Amino acid sequence: MTHHRSHRERGASQPTVRARTVLGITQAAGYVEVLAQALRAGGVTVRSGGELVALRVGERVELELEAGEDGPHSVVRLTLRWDTPVPEERLEIVPGVEHAGASAAGAETGADGGLAAE
């Protein structure tokens, strides 16, 4: 029997997805393995129902692990926390004079001999 609940909370205008479900051991281990793969890939996306949060992974991660007995239950709690990386700004150099608000699409394709640097 599977029970599933989720809700989205807003703290400091940032979305949070929370979910609780009852799974078989193999399915639970699969979620943990996919989380590890996502961390290695540099991003974690969590979707529960129609709710979604996508997180870029930082360089270093604070790991908090708690394991023990809670009455008749065995419990392992894992918390991962990191500084969210800020994407780098893109630098473009285009020959000629471009007015503010004008598109530089030609510079990206190199059609007008422009230089695009990232």
Q: Give me the residue label for tokens 């051991």.
A: 25
**Structure tokens, 48:** 């529960």
What one-character DSSP code corresponds to residue 86? Answer: P
Q: Give the containing element (helix H, strand E) for 79.
A: strand 73-81
3-class SS string, 40-77: HHCEEEEEECCEEEEEECCCCCEEEEEEEEECCEEEEE
pTM of structure: 0.61
* Domain boundaries, given as residue ranges, for the chain: 4-81, 88-118
Tens of each residue's pLDDT in the chain, 118 residues: 444 444 433 345 578 999 999 999 999 999 999 999 999 999 999 999 889 999 999 999 999 999 999 999 999 999 999 999 887 788 888 888 877 766 545 444 444 444 444 4
As beta bridge partners, residue 63 has: 80
What one-character DSSP code corresponds to residue 95? Answer: S
One-letter amino acid identity for 48?
S
